[in-house]
């Protein structure tokens, strides 16, 4: 009769159902109206505003854009205005002492248009355009890399909090098993060794709970540093792990990767930069033409007319510069540019091969993670049922304490494996999207 009463009491306090994903986890340490609720989109937006490496990549893209504007401006005529006066000491009544002076008094008021044309300047503009494309590609790489970092940190925080819940349940289950073993020992139905085993299990589960809380706090701190400009832990994150997006088929992924892979764009842009550098270096062997157009006055009086003559006029000056000898410096620049171009071609080829390998690797990883999610969920459900049945068998004297402990450990491991599997699928999708872009 005593064994029957104990069985009934323990069945009423049997293994609790495995908790479903909460809509909000990682509660703030202090509950207040100022607590911020952050979803994944918010976390990404905040990280983009605060991540220094990401902001540096954007700054480099902006600098490259301005370099391109400046290089284009160097190809266009520059217009300036000059005004001034020159006085030379007279040598007699009408002539100045300086033979270079046009007169004792000379007044200048002119607009000047200047243009320089050379192969080197044209190639420099092409290089600036390619460098802008390269900087934009690197900024896109930084953007997608930041997404992976945020997703890992965001869902790592969620799973760390889930593992705290799992550890709390495991500690409660171990405590109930300890209580059951003590009751059965007092009734003379189990040996004292069962109680010792149950106590050891309870101690282990309590220690695991402490470690899980510490890991959860570390994850929260890491996420807070990543997304908040002013450090705070007064926030909570939305658990949307169960709403993971589907994985497209491989054909669609290939098409997206062929259009949107920033690594390939960066390697191709780097090759174009080196090609324009080579052209600019070769241009050092060729002539450069400079043209200046002056319009205004250059007269002995600051006036548009003097003694019936019109002072306003124009002057055109053209200069052709022919490079002849530079002690081998120009040829050395050509060799340097050729070496860079060769290296850029090798890097582009390697980037293409690596892109194909990464595409297959990331897709297979995402596909495997997706397939394992249901298996891991099923394993967690089965582990919970196994523990329930093992406890019933133990209460009936058909199972040992070691079997109960093994079942408890298997349940904790299965629950944690499922949570890790969900995060793995999300991160693998993020890795794949570093190649394909959003899908």
| Cα angle, residue 60 at apex, residues 128 and 277 outer, rounded to 5° | 25
Quote the CA–CA distance of 205 and 211 in Å, as a whole number.
10
Q: Is the pLDDT of residue 19 over 80?
A: no
Least confident span in 297-306, 386-395, 427-436: 297-306
Which CATH number fits the domain that encloses residue 355?
Answer: 1.20.1600.10
Token pair, residue 388, equals 């329930």
Where residue 63 falls among pLDDT bands split at 50, 70, 90?
Answer: very high
Quote the CA–CA distance of 18 and 262 in Å, as a whole number.
42
- Sorted by sequence, the CB contacts under 8 Å of residue 407 that are 6+ apart come out as 383, 386, 387, 390, 391
Instruction: Return the DSSP state at 90.
Output: B
Which tops the pLDDT comparison, 332 or 232? 332
Is position 412 within any domain? Answer: yes
Q: What is the DSSP string of 282-332?
A: HHTTS-EEEEEEEEEEEESSSSSEETTEE--EEEEEEEEE-----TTHHHH
Query: Which residue in this structure is represented by tokens 């006036």?
Result: 303
Domain tally, the chain: 1
Give the residue-averaged pLDDT of 343-359.
Answer: 95
Is position 384 within any domain? Answer: yes
Q: Is the pLDDT of residue 1 over 90?
A: no
Q: Is the pLDDT of residue 244 over 50?
A: yes
The helix/strand/coil state of 282 is helix
* Dihedral sign for Cα atoms in the order 217, 222, 225, 227: negative
- What's the predicted TM-score (pTM) here? 0.81
Instruction: Return the DSSP state at 237.
Output: E
Token pair, residue 125, equals 């503009």
Quote the CA–CA distance of 150 and 45 in Å, as a whole number.
10
Percentage above 70 pLDDT, the chain: 92
Quote the CA–CA distance of 55 and 143 in Å, as a whole number.
9
Q: Answer for the pair 132, 414: CB distance below 8 angstroms, yes or no.
A: no
Give the residue-averaged pLDDT of 287-307.
Answer: 91
Query: Over the stretch 171-230, which tens digit does the pLDDT of each residue have?
Result: 999 999 999 999 998 988 889 999 999 999 999 999 999 999 999 999 999 999 999 999
Q: How many CA atoms lie within 13 A of 184 on its CB side?
A: 28
Query: Over the stretch 77-125, which tens digit does the pLDDT of each residue have?
Result: 999 999 999 989 888 767 888 888 888 888 999 999 999 999 999 999 9
Crossing angle between the packed helical segments 119-186 and 2-12, to the nearest 10 degrees: 160
* Dihedral sign for Cα atoms in the order 71, 75, 80, 86: positive
pLDDT at 93: 67
Quote the CA–CA distance of 142 and 124 in Å, as a whole number.
26
Quote the CA–CA distance of 18 and 170 in Å, as a whole number.
11
Is position 185 within any domain? Answer: yes
Where in the sequence is the domain holding 181, given as residue range(s)?
A: 2-76+118-286+323-436
Is position 416 within any domain? Answer: yes
Is position 56 within any domain? Answer: yes
End-to-end CA distance of the chain: 64
Quote the CA–CA distance of 161 and 155 in Å, as a whole number.
10
Percentage above 90 pLDDT, the chain: 78
Is position 113 within any domain? Answer: no
Quote the CA–CA distance of 17 and 411 in Å, as a whole number.
11
């Amino acid at each position: 009769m005593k064994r029957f009463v104990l069985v009934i009491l323990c069945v009423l306090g049997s293994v609790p159902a495995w908790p479903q994903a909460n809509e909000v986890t990682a509660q703030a340490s202090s509950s207040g109206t100022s607590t911020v609720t952050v979803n994944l989109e918010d976390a990404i937006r905040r990280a983009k505003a605060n991540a220094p490496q990401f902001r540096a990549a954007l700054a480099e893209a902006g600098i490259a854009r301005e370099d391109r504007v400046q290089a284009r401006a160097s190809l266009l005529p520059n217009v300036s205005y000059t005004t001034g006066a020159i006085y030379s000491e007279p040598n007699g009544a009408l002539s100045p002492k300086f033979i270079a002076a046009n007169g004792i008094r000379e007044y200048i008021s002119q607009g000047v248009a200047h243009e320089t044309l050379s192969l080197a300047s044209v190639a420099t503009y092409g290089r600036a355009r390619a460098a802008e494309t390269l900087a934009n590609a690197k900024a896109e790489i930084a953007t997608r890399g930041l997404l992976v970092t945020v997703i890992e940190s965001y869902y790592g925080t969620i799973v760390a909090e889930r593992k705290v819940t799992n550890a709390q349940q495991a500690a409660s289950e171990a405590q109930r098993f300890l209580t059951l073993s003590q009751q059965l020992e007092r009734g003379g139905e189990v040996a004292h060794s069962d109680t010792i085993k149950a106590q050891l299990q309870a101690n282990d589960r309590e220690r695991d709970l402490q470690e899980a809380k510490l890991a959860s706090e570390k994850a929260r701190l890491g996420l807070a540093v990543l997304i908040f400009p002013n450090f705070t832990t007064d926030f909570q994150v939305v658990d949307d792990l169960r709403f993971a997006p589907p994985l497209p088929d491989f054909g669609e992924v290939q098409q997206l990767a062929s259009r949107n892979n920033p690594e390939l764009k960066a390697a191709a842009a780097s090759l174009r930069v080196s090609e324009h550098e080579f052209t600019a270096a070769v241009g050092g062997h060729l002539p450069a033409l400079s043209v200046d157009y002056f319009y205004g006055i250059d007269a002995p009086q600051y006036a548009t007319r003097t003694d019936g003559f019109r002072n306003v006029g124009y002057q055109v000056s053209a200069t052709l510069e022919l490079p002849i000898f530079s002690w081998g410096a120009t040829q050395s620049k050509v060799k340097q540019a050729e070496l860079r171009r060769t290296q850029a071609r090798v890097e582009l080829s390697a980037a293409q091969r690596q892109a194909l390998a990464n595409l297959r690797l990331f897709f297979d990883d995402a596909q495997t993670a997706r397939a394992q999610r249901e298996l891991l969920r099923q394993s967690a459900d089965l582990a919970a049922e196994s523990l329930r049945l093992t406890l019933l068998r133990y209460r009936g004297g058909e199972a040992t304490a070691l079997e109960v402990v093994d079942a408890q450990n298997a349940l904790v491991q299965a629950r944690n494996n499922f949570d890790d599997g969900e995060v793995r699928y999300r991160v693998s999708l993020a890795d794949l999207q570093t190649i394909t872009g959003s899908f």
